[in-house]
Amino acid sequence: MALIKSISGIRGTIGGKPGEGLTPLDVVKFTSAYGAWVIHHTKNPKVVIGRDARISGEMISKLVSATLQGLGIDVIDLGLSTTPTVELAVPLEKAGGGIILTASHNPIQWNALKLLNDKGEFISDAEGKAILESAEKEDFTFAEVKKLGKYTQINDYIDRHVEHVLGLKLVDVEAIKARKFKVVVDAVNSTGGIAVPKLLRALGVEDIEEMFCTPDGHFPHNPEPLPENLRDIAEKLNRGKYDLGIVVDPDVDRLCFMNEDGSPFGEEYTLVAVSDYVLSQTPGNTVSNLSSTRALRDVTQKRGGQYQAAAVGEVNVVNKMKETNAIIGGEGNGGVIYPESHYGRDALVGIGLFLTHLAKFGKSISMLRASYPNYYISKNKIELTPEIDVDKILEEIKRKYSKQPINDIDGVKIEFEKEWVHLRKSNTEPIIRIYSESETQATAEHLANKIILDIKEVISGS
């Protein structure tokens, strides 16, 4: 069993003993701490909740709702929903916060509570630490019987989300409809199975093959939308009857596309393509995290804008976007953040913008992909013994490559002419994660292996 507490929420496997897995006691304690924070900091005792289709979701949702009511907080329950839908609903409902019940791309045995502020954005580092401390101390007080919170269900927020996407000025429904796209959707039997086909039909896409779109939480494959997990949709596309494939994760904040021949468009290139379209219509700046492809920087500079890198984590990307007035940004895992809509990763917004771009491009999706710079990312890690000083290793690597451009806002990222390597230490285990990117997979892996050798030399010499 596993239970991971972080500044963004609590995540764990269902069952086991309290403190070792995500048990009802852990859910109640953590929800209580968050609810107390909402009451104290926003003076607005109203919280929006929504969940993905995980088997444990209904049970967790009832615990969360009852706990919030017990604190005197009114609960607005969206039921089966998506992460970006809840994010949109929080300010629309004038709530003091929101909780999304989802473990995102993690397997079926996991669930989690993701915490939002009154803007529908993820809470800050400081706020998350305060809530964790409150949970540990059990520093919260429940309401008297006549002051218990009310419970309300709203079941049409996905429809409202779809209408919101249609209303974005850069989403061209007529252009999409005119292309008569034939689309395959893999929604891993979660809430994307409700939202994505509904959005596509609203965009004028009539020919839709729904794969794994029954929101029953029985994931047919590992839910992380990586090529090795998408063999079924790749095989269907390879038969040559469709224009593209669309894949989302269980809570619909990550988005990736598949080419008409079944090959991956590339999860990293979701943000690149959407940004290219947005920049072509409204020039400006972009942001992604340090571990995302440099293709976004290339596209941004080509369009006359400035690119900035943020520390890994959605809240860090959002903060950097606000700081630099970025008009588009996100993460290389297929997370598109479009401030014109809201400051959160949103696969539905990404679909609307991407299909508009592809429709106006006028050619196949594989030809669109070929129009962008080619980069390949290699992801590795090196496991260390607990007594090793990881910070000292990172400092030594910085010193060795001090003649290269280095960004150390989140680990150590070393830039070379056409490639980079990013080293990050894990907060939960003695591991250094090593991401490298180059113009070929072989050179990306060679760069990673070179850095791994450097790390081993530092260890052996210490």
Find the Cα–Cα–Cα–Cα dihedral 346, 152, 118, 188, rounded to 10°: -20
d(CA 397, CA 388): 15
Looking only at the bridges linking them, the beta strands covering 46-51 and 74-80 are: parallel
The answer to whether 167 and 193 are in contact (CB under 8 A) is no
Question: DSSP string spanning 285-353?
Answer: EEEEETTS-THHHHHHHHTT--EEEE-SSHHHHHHHHHHHTEEEEEETTTEEE-TTT-SSB-HHHHHHH
3-state secondary structure of 208: strand
Q: Beta partners for 122? A: 116
d(CA 387, CA 413): 24
Amino acid, res. 445 = E
Q: Tell me, yes or no, if 402 is annotated catalytic.
A: no
Sheet holding 182-186, edge to edge: 207-211, 182-186, 244-248, 255-258
Q: State in Å, rounded, how far the first CA of the chain is from the last one.
A: 35
**Catalytic one of 32, 61, 65, 104:** 104
State phi, psi for 302 to the nearest 5 degrees.
Answer: -65, -35
- Taking the CA of residue 289 as centre, how many other CA atoms within 13 Å lie in the half-sphere pointing to its CB? 26
d(CA 33, CA 6): 13
Query: Burial level of 302, CB count in 10 A (0-12/13-18/19+)?
Result: exposed
Catalytic residues: 104
